[in-house]
Structure 1
Amino acid sequence: MRLASISVDLDSLPHYCRIHGLPETLLDERARTLVHAVAVPRFRELFDSLGIPGTFFAIGEDLEADPGAAAGMRAAHEAGIEVASHSHAHDYALTRRGAAAILEDLRRADAVILAATGARPEGFRAPGYTLNADLYAATVALGYRYGSSAFPATPYYAAKAAVMGALALAGRPSRSVLDTPRVLLAPRVPYRPDPTNPYRRGEGAVLELPMAVTPGVAFPFIGTFATTLPRPVLRAAWNSCRRDAFFNFELHGVDVLDVSDGIPAELVRQQRDLRVSAARKLERLREVFGWLAAERKVVTLRDAASRLAPSL
């Protein structure tokens, strides 16, 4: 049976300020908690209405700072949603910190998520989707079942490089990090990584479940594009992936937010998908989730890893 998973990275708005080189002082206390207070309930309602599970990638630091976020993750876990790790500090330069610091960050995230949900996370997604040997080794050491960070999307990589360059020229450098071009050679289907180069096949203990990109041009099929592209373009991208045994649809909390939720205008100007109404985005996501559920068994990433592991 073909499988699909739907996952949501719960990056709070301060992380978007860091991406766009904006001061975090733009955000009031409510804006800082919007992803957990508003986006998480919207995603939960969407999952519940279609009777499908999902995976939330939580940031340990955000759960520590916001008791409401921690309570929301416990409620999600009890409702059958997987809560996985998106690191503790969501440091875009995590891969540059050295093996000991990387391991400590992931351990802290595990402890916070365990305290919040009562269950230790079994999956990991890297900040900024950036992997290296030290980070992969940490996931092995901590006994994760899977990672889901590889994103071999050529158009995304080129656009990210261009935006980071423009911000640097404008004197407002991004705190994001451009990954090695080797990521573009990573498999677009589930695989066991080479521990010395996780973007290459090998015999690593932790499975890698790459995010969906189309065959050939490697166009990214992620929430930002699913909610903003013309429907015929999105449908064509979906049709090109329909033969894949596994489809990994990745989203972010902001994919169901808009300017009316109280996001500062300065951030909306940089994060253009926030100009699309949340109602319209939710309508599109309901449609896309329906495509997946009609043709595949939708499971959490943890369950997908369990089902795929014997064949890998």
Structure 2
Amino acid sequence: MRLASISVDLDSLPHYCRIHGLPESLLDARARSLVHAVAVPRFRELLDTLGAPGTFFAIGEDLEADTLASSGMRAAHEAGIEVASHSHAHDYALTRRGPAAILEDLRRADAAILAATGARPEGFRAPGYTLNADLYAATVELGYRYGSSAFPATPYYAAKAAVMGALSLMGRPSRSVLDTPRVLLAPRVPYRPDPARPYRRGTGSVLELPMAVTPALRFPFIGTFATTLPLRTLRGAWRSCRRDAFFNFELHGVDVLDATDGIPGELVRQQRDLRVSATRKLERLREIFGWLKSECDVVTLRDAAGRLSATL
């Protein structure tokens, strides 16, 4: 039976301010904690309805700074949800920091997740999906079972480049980083990377589980698009991936939030999917989760890596 995984990146709202070149002072204490206080419970309810586990990618410094985030991840872990690493500081330029700084960041994230959940993470997703040889080497040294950072989605890459260029012209540069175009040639299915060039196949020990993109056009099937595009478009994208042995559905905490949750208007105007009601988003995700449940064995990314590794 085909495998599928549902994962959620728990990027808090300050990171969205950084993406859009907005001051973090826009956010009050409640807004800063919305992802863990509101989005995590909503995702847990969705997963409970599905009757399948998921994977939460937590940011280490959030767990250290917010007791609600820490206790929420412990409760999620105890309920069978995998808690994996999304780095310590979610530094979009992490790949540019050099081997020692990268390794230290990942070690700090591991320690924060271990303290929160009692278990060391076995998987990693890079901030901004950006991977390079130094970062891959750090995941190998720390003994991760898998990484899930490659996102070879041509439309997403083009849109990101355009937005970053526009923000720069407006004098409000994004703190996000545009990855090398080589990512667009990365395999769209699970693979073992070349440690020196991790967007190519090789013999690396840490398995790579790319985010779901369609064949040919490499259209991204992630939460932002799943909650905003017409259902007919999504059905077509889902059907085009039916030959794949594994489907990696990636979401973010904001994919179940909207403006009425207490997000500042300046951020809502920039992050347009926040204008879609959370109720509508949840209804859409229930339907898509149902597609996965009906055709796939839905497992954590850790379990998917374990089952796929022998075939690769």
Output the TM-score relative to the length of structure 2: 1.00
Match of 2:7 in 1: 7
Q: CA deviation at 1:177?
A: 0.1
What RMSD over aligned residues (CA atoms) do the two structures have, in Å?
0.3
Match of 1:287 in 2: 287
Name the CA distance, whole Å, in 2 between partners of 1:52 and 1:277: 25
Match of 1:122 in 2: 122
Name the CA distance, whole Å, in 2 between partners of 1:211 and 1:49: 23
Match of 2:237 in 1: 237
Q: CA deviation at 1:49?
A: 1.2
Q: CA deviation at 1:266?
A: 0.1
- Map 1:212-251 to 2 at 5 A: 212-251=212-251
**Partner SS for 1:237:** helix
Q: CA deviation at 1:128?
A: 0.2
Q: Percent identity?
A: 87
Match of 2:187 in 1: 187
Runs of 4 or more, structure 1, over 2 Å off, are none
> For residue 229 of structure 2, what is the amino acid of its counterpart?
L
Match of 1:47 in 2: 47
Match of 2:107 in 1: 107
Deviations 1:223-269 (A, max 9, x none): 00000000101111111011110000000000000000000000000
Deviations 1:37-76 (A, max 9, x none): 0000000000001101100000001111100000000000
Q: CA deviation at 1:189?
A: 0.2
- Map 1:295-310 to 2 at 5 A: 295-310=295-310
Name the CA distance, whole Å, in 1 between partners of 2:228 and 2:134: 36
Name the CA distance, whole Å, in 2 between partners of 1:87 and 1:131: 12
Match of 2:69 in 1: 69
- Map 1:242-281 to 2 at 5 A: 242-281=242-281
Deviations 1:265-292 (A, max 9, x none): 0000000000000000000000000000
Name the CA distance, whole Å, in 2 between partners of 1:145 and 1:94: 20
Match of 2:28 in 1: 28
Name the CA distance, whole Å, in 2 between partners of 1:77 and 1:275: 31
Q: CA deviation at 1:157?
A: 0.2
**Partner SS for 2:110:** helix
**Partner SS for 1:92:** coil
Match of 2:164 in 1: 164
**Partner SS for 2:198:** strand
Name the CA distance, whole Å, in 1 between partners of 2:8 and 2:125: 10
**Partner SS for 1:311:** coil
> For residue 58 of structure 2, what is the amino acid of its counterpart?
A
Match of 2:175 in 1: 175
Name the CA distance, whole Å, in 1 between partners of 2:81 and 2:303: 11
Name the CA distance, whole Å, in 1 between partners of 2:49 and 2:206: 32
Match of 1:81 in 2: 81
Name the CA distance, whole Å, in 1 between partners of 2:49 and 2:160: 34
Deviations 1:193-244 (A, max 9, x none): 0000000000000000000000000000000000000010111111101111
Could you list the runs of 5+ residues in structure 1 that have no partner in the other structure? none
> For residue 305 of structure 1, what is the amino acid of its counterpart?
A
**1:149 to 2:146 alignment:** no
The count of aligned residue pairs is: 312
Deviations 1:165-186 (A, max 9, x none): 0000000000000000000000
Name the CA distance, whole Å, in 1 between partners of 2:280 and 2:45: 15
**Partner SS for 2:38:** helix
Match of 2:59 in 1: 59
**Partner SS for 1:292:** helix
